[in-house]
Amino acid sequence: MSEPIVIAIDGPSASGKSTNAKIIAAALSYAYVDTGAMYRTLAWHALRQGVDTTDAEAIAALCHDWPAGLVNCEGSIWLEVDGYFPETEIRTKETSAAVSHVAAVSFVRDWMKERQRSCVQFGNLVMEGRDIGSNIFPETPHKFYMDAAAAVRQARRDADGVQDNLAARDERDSTRAASPLKVAKGATIINNAGETPEETSARIMDLVRAARD
What pLDDT tens digit does each residue of the chain (213 aa) get? 579 999 999 998 889 999 999 999 999 999 999 999 999 999 999 999 999 999 999 999 999 999 999 999 999 999 999 999 999 999 999 999 999 999 999 999 999 999 999 999 999 999 999 999 999 999 999 999 999 888 899 888 888 777 777 778 788 888 888 888 899 999 999 999 989 999 999 999 999 999 988
Query: How many angstroms separate the CA atoms of 198 and 106, rounded?
Result: 36
Query: How many angstroms separate the CA atoms of 33 and 123, rounded?
Result: 12
Cβ contacts of 202 within 8 Å, gap of 6 or more? none
For the entire predicted model, the pTM comes to 0.92
Query: How many angstroms separate the CA atoms of 11 and 189, rounded?
Result: 9
Domains assigned to the chain:
1-30+123-213 (3.40.50.300), 34-122 (3.40.50.300)
- Work out the angle at residue 94's Cα, subtended by the Cα atoms of residues 19 and 46, and round it to the nearest 5 degrees: 100
**The predicted structure's pLDDT at residue 1:** 56
Amino acid making up residue 46: A
